[in-house]
Structure 1
Amino acid sequence: MKIYGVTGWKNAGKTGLMERLVNEICARGISVSTVKHAHHSFDVDHPGKDSHRHRIAGAREVLLASRHRVALMQELRDDPEPPLSDLLARLSPVDLVLIEGYKRDSHPKVEAHRAETGNPLIAPGDPTIRAVASDTPLTLDRPVFDLDDTAAIADFILSEVGL
């Protein structure tokens, strides 16, 4: 599996770019999975549902399955967050895994940047960021794309990973 990341500060446009990239790349006949890092507590389950009751009762893993999808919820309890490499190893094989977040990991990335956030660029100090997708023109030592030019960003990523 090839991997490529989309990173950036909060409200930089990462999720919208990820969504558009998945759509664009899948439309080209390439299979894609995603990994999204969350810095906050999150829950994909709902109180009162059977699977939630299993987890609250103490189950370490709850696998929920239907003819439409399968979801595996794993409770870390007091264990540390698994590294990205361990999470990638759990995925079924696909052509490309797009990773949102994980800005400190060593995989290649595109940085999403919106000027209105006032955040500095990460790219100048991070060689793993191979390009920047921005809503404002920038002069950098690597490619800069318009944040909304999904096709060009997809072309760049696919070229980078050899797909």
Structure 2
Amino acid sequence: MLSPPVLGFAATSGTGKTSLLTKLIPLLKAQNLRIGVIKHSHHDFEIDQPDKDSFKLRKAGATPVMLVSRYRRAVISELPPAIDISLSEQLAAFPSSGLDLILVEGFRHESYPKIELCRPSLGKPMLYPSDPSIIAIASDQALSTPPNLPQLDLNDPQAITAFIIDTFLKNQRD
């Protein structure tokens, strides 16, 4: 089976990547698309709690640990310290069967199709000049960008959804 297309959302922290994704996902699902998400975090995190059995089993040295209920499943795997994680490794481990699209938040320095989010008021440099894998820019202001780089309104999730379906996914099928 073919892997689903992967589309990233890249920007500096605080630009609104997660906020946008939480608006796009329901709109994409309303078009009968099955969506998965990979979110890159630069911080350590715990998804289980110290008083829970899964936490105790992992701290005892088991990896991975799978926690399952009739409602959801979580797999917790410990990664070696100071390992550089790559998107390709995470995609290989991602349960993508039955998905139509995988959205990625982060991994902005890797080469894969991405929409760059931009808020000029934040004063951050644009990514597209040095990243040829950026296929569009979503901004809250009009920008002077190359004519072959579509500009989307960051505050119009319906328009971004239309771009994903009518341009990105269509191009993936062609």
The interval holding the TM-score normalised by the smaller chain is over 0.9
Distance (whole Å) between structure 1 residues aligned to residue 119 and residue 18 of structure 2: 13
Distance (whole Å) between structure 2 residues aligned to residue 41 and residue 121 of structure 1: 27
Match of 2:63 among 43, 55, 60: 60
**Structure 1 residue 121 and structure 2 residue 126: aligned?**
yes
2:169 counterpart residue number: 161
**Structure 1 residue 24 and structure 2 residue 23: aligned?**
no
The alignment's TM-score, normalised by the length of structure 1, stands at 0.93
Task: In structure 2, list runs of 5 or more residues that go unmatched.
Answer: none
Q: How does 1:128-143 map to 2 (within 5 A)?
A: 128-141=133-146, 142-143=149-150
Match of 1:13 among 3, 16, 29: 16
Q: Which amino acid aligns with 2:11?
A: G
Distance (whole Å) between structure 1 residues aligned to residue 5 and residue 138 of structure 2: 20
1:99 counterpart residue number: 104
Q: CA deviation at 1:63?
A: 0.2
Q: CA deviation at 1:80?
A: 2.3
Task: In structure 1, list runs of 5 or more residues that go unmatched.
Answer: none
Match of 1:44 among 35, 43, 47: 47
The alignment's TM-score, normalised by the length of structure 2, stands at 0.88
Which string of whole-angstrom CA distances, capped at 9 and with x for unpartnered residues, describes residues 89-144 of structure 1? 22232000000001011111001112232211111221111111111111211111
Q: How big is the alpha-carbon RMSD for the aligned residues of Structure 1 and Structure 2?
A: 1.5
SS at match of 2:66: strand
Distance (whole Å) between structure 2 residues aligned to residue 77 and residue 116 of structure 1: 38
Distance (whole Å) between structure 2 residues aligned to residue 15 and residue 68 of structure 1: 24
State, as a whole percentage, how many aligned pairs show the same letter: 39
Which string of whole-angstrom CA distances, capped at 9 and with x for unpartnered residues, describes residues 6-43 of structure 1? 01001011111111111110111011000000111111
Q: Which amino acid aligns with 2:157?
A: T
Q: CA deviation at 1:79?
A: 7.1
Distance (whole Å) between structure 2 residues aligned to residue 119 and residue 82 of structure 1: 25
